[in-house]
A and B are shown apart, each in its own frame.
Chain A
Amino acid sequence: MIEMLKLGLVLMLVALIAAVALGIVNSSTAPIIAIQQELEKQNAMSEVAASLMPDDSLAFDSLSIHNLENPYASCDELLQVVKVFLPPDTSRIGYVFIAYGKGYSSTLQTMVATRMDGRVAGTIILNQQETPGLGANIVIPSKLIEHLTGMTAEECRLRKDGGTIDAMTGCTITSRAVVNSVRQGLEDMSGAGLFYDDITLDEEHAEGGTE
């Protein structure tokens, strides 16, 4: 009995020391990690938004859009849309959103910049773990990504699915994941009335409370 207690005490001591050490390191690295991730996201947004307007001083403001469930993306989150504007002017020149599509071996995260008329301006793949040399080639500025530029939701479809975009040979699943997730995002945004044709409300109202 005494021995059991002693052993337990030793284990507790070891765990306690470990926990304290981790806590100290975590408190000093956590803010850096947060800054790092924010910076990464900002860089990606600036990169993709440059296709809307090549200007370093573009600013972003996230919109809260509700009731935008995305049944075909493998991500339960609501669509996160960011409005792009050029300060000091606060009127929006386009949007950036992230599309999630289930590919061959991973969920592809595609960041898309769209113009106000609902056309794609630029696309980058944020995250993917597809087969190296095949699906992973989608991150190399591929013809497929180039082809997406200028597409509306209706046009954004693989040739095999009745559209005009050629899938990358040997990786239809990856290509389809990107194209379909982008289309889904465009459709959802259009459904929320974010594009010019649909905008009937005045600016402030449509933004649903963000300042």
Chain B
Amino acid sequence: MSLMKDLTNGIYKENPVFKLALGMCPFLAVTTSVENALGMGAAATFVLIASNFLVSLFRNLIPSKVRIPCYIVIIATFVTLVDMVMHAYLPALHKSLGIFIPLIVVNCIILGRAEGFANRHPVLNSIADGIGMGVGFTMAMVVLATFRELLGNGTWLNMNVLGSAFRNQPLLIAILAPGAFILLSFIMGFFKILETRKGGRQ
């Protein structure tokens, strides 16, 4: 039962982006297209699950004084693994995600979950939490990327949705950096409204 709770926790209730405001750097930077968002999400989810698993497994062996360096080494190792494997087998995606793959190392979500969850929960729960958080992060990125790609390029997952008339004059700002901030604030505002409404009813 609690396993299920840990799994769904990251998807909405403690969504790393919209609720905890973690991992903003990759979130804002790679959401220029849904394809990038999915790729980044998959990579981050893999690292998250793997690091949560290992941190939880060795939580009693790692002395608490050096736990942060140990977590960083574990995370960095997995990020480098993902980087190499992606470079070898998915070169196109690797090229478009560019610098953001190595930057998963400093994604606060991953260290945050290692420190905040995995180091005091059993292995299975930690894996569940990693999956939930990873899926939540990916979903949040897909939501923002959907808006940015649709408005800024007229496409969704590279499919032409809004027609060529729109594509000639898209709302370019959506795909540029300021558009990411503006749209993020609108999405967060939307969640805030939902929450207030819910809170009002209780």
Q: Which residues of A contact B (CB under 8 A)?
A: 6-7, 10-11, 14-15, 18, 21-22, 25-26, 29-30, 32-33, 36-37, 40, 129, 131-134
| CA–CA, A21 and B81, complex, Å | 9
Cβ of B1 within 8 Å of any chain A Cβ, yes or no, is no
How would residues 47 to 74 of chain B score, 1 for a CB under 8 Å from any chain A CB and 0 otherwise?
0000000000000011101100110011
Cβ of B80 within 8 Å of any chain A Cβ, yes or no, is yes
Cβ of A22: which chain B residues have Cβ within 8 Å of it?
Answer: 77, 80-81, 84
Name the residue of chain B whose CB is nearest to the CB of A15.
B73
How large, as a class, is the contact surface on chain B?
A: 20 to 34
The residue that B32 contacts in the complex, of A25, A33, A132, with Cβ under 8 A, is A132
Cβ of B175 within 8 Å of any chain A Cβ, yes or no, is yes
- Given contacts A29-B85, A36-B87, whether A11 and B66 have CB atoms under 8 Å apart is yes
Shortest CB distance B177–A (Å) = 10
Q: Among B80, B87, B88, B170, which residue has the most Cβ atoms of chain A within 10 A?
A: B88
Cβ of B87: which chain A residues have Cβ within 8 Å of it?
Answer: 29, 33, 36
| CA–CA, A150 and B73, complex, Å | 54
Cβ of B65: which chain A residues have Cβ within 8 Å of it?
Answer: 7
Shortest CB distance B196–A (Å) = 35
Q: Which residues of B contact A (CB under 8 A)?
A: 32, 61-63, 65-66, 69-70, 73-74, 76-77, 80-81, 84-85, 87-89, 91, 98, 152-153, 170, 172, 175-176
Contact status B77-A36, CB under 8 Å: no
Q: Among A10, A15, A36, A37, which residue has the most Cβ atoms of chain B within 10 A?
A: A10
Main secondary structure of the interface of B (DSSP, over half): helix
Contact status A14-B70, CB under 8 Å: yes
- Given contacts A10-B70, A32-B88, whether A134 and B172 have CB atoms under 8 Å apart is yes
Known contacts A22-B84, A133-B176; 14 further A-B pairs (Cβ under 8 A): A7-B63, A14-B62, A15-B73, A18-B74, A18-B77, A22-B77, A29-B84, A29-B88, A33-B88, A37-B91, A129-B98, A131-B176, A132-B32, A133-B175
Contact status B69-A11, CB under 8 Å: yes
Contact status B172-A25, CB under 8 Å: no
The residue that A40 contacts in the complex, of B85, B91, B152, with Cβ under 8 A, is B91
Shortest Cβ-Cβ A-B pairs, 4 listed: A18-B77, A32-B88, A29-B88, A133-B172
* 14 A-B pairs (CB sep. < 8 Å): A7-B66, A10-B62, A11-B69, A14-B73, A18-B76, A21-B77, A21-B81, A29-B87, A33-B87, A37-B91, A131-B176, A132-B32, A132-B153, A133-B175
Name the residue of chain A whose CB is nearest to the CB of B70.
A14
Cβ of B62: which chain A residues have Cβ within 8 Å of it?
Answer: 10, 14
Cβ of B89: which chain A residues have Cβ within 8 Å of it?
Answer: 32
| CA–CA, A18 and B75, complex, Å | 10
Shortest CB distance B23–A (Å) = 22
Name the residue of chain A whose CB is nearest to the CB of B83.
A29
Contact status B170-A18, CB under 8 Å: no
Cβ of A18: which chain B residues have Cβ within 8 Å of it?
Answer: 73-74, 76-77
Contact status B73-A10, CB under 8 Å: no
Shortest CB distance A10–B (Å) = 6
Shortest CB distance A165–B (Å) = 23
| CA–CA, A29 and B175, complex, Å | 33
